[in-house]
């Protein structure tokens, strides 16, 4: 999506020797709602024919983009909550996720009442890097007996293995901007 690529080129900041892209001026701290609206429309163009019944994301950065996309899909939007607690009561589906940006492992959880067998779930997130966040969400949908129709992410760092691994497993992964490489001197898109 050219609009997003142009914005990343203009306002993205590269950190940690070219491994982390900071987009907090328009995506995950200050938010450009007009851009989110175009991204939501694009996710609907890509997945609107898939009979999606729920959108599922993970707090916090995925929530805004999923909500705006949800207005196009006209289905409930669920966000998985993050918890460091190991003891979680029986009313939730839960999966461990290794955090790329913060290190360590946290659990994601969704109350059982919000996902049912037969649900056709589209996963939404801001970034795809190693794929741990999406794999946690995939596990939750599987526990509920639902089906993952695919994942829509705003930015895929294609030089990390998550996207390829998930596509090899047969999941449809659509990224609105796919970065093949980045360094202090610039960003290349696939």
101 binds ligand 5GP (CB under 6 A): yes
182 binds ligand 5GP (CB under 6 A): no
Measure the CA–CA gap between 43 and 39, rounded to whole angstroms: 6
129 binds ligand 5GP (CB under 6 A): yes
Nearest approach in angstroms of CB 69 to ligand 5GP is 15
The stretches of the chain forming alpha helices (DSSP H) are: 2-11, 33-47, 61-73, 132-144, 162-168
Closest CA to 130 of 162, 175, 157: 162
Measure the CA–CA gap between 8 and 154, rounded to whole angstroms: 11
Measure the CA–CA gap between 87 and 25, rounded to whole angstroms: 36
Nearest approach in angstroms of CB 132 to ligand 5GP is 4
Nearest approach in angstroms of CB 163 to ligand 5GP is 9
Nearest approach in angstroms of CB 101 to ligand 5GP is 5
Among positions 4, 52, 69, 132, the unique one binding ligand 5GP when judged by CB under 6 A: 132
**Residues forming the site for ligand 5GP (CB under 6 A):** 20-23, 28, 61, 100-101, 125-133, 157, 162
């Amino acid at each position: 999506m050219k609009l997003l690529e142009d914005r990343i080129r203009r306002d993205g900041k590269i950190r940690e020797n070219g491994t982390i892209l900071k987009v907090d001026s328009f995506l995950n701290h200050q938010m450009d709602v007009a851009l989110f609206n175009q991204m939501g429309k694009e996710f609907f163009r890509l997945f609107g024919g898939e009979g999606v019944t729920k959108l599922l994301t993970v707090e916090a950065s995925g929530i805004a983009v999923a909500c705006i996309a949800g207005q196009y899909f006209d289905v409930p939007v669920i966000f998985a909550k993050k918890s460091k607690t190991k003891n979680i009561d029986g009313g939730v589906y839960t999966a461990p996720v290794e955090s790329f940006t913060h290190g360590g492992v946290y659990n994601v959880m969704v109350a059982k009442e919000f996902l049912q067998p037969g649900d056709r779930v589209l996963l939404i997130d801001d970034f795809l890097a190693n794929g741990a966040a999406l794999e946690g969400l995939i596990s939750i949908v599987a526990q509920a007996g639902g089906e993952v129709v695919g994942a829509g992410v705003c930015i895929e760092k294609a030089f990390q293995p998550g996207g390829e691994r998930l596509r090899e497993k047969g999941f449809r992964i659509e990224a609105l901007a796919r970065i093949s490489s980045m360094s202090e001197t610039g960003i290349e898109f696939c």
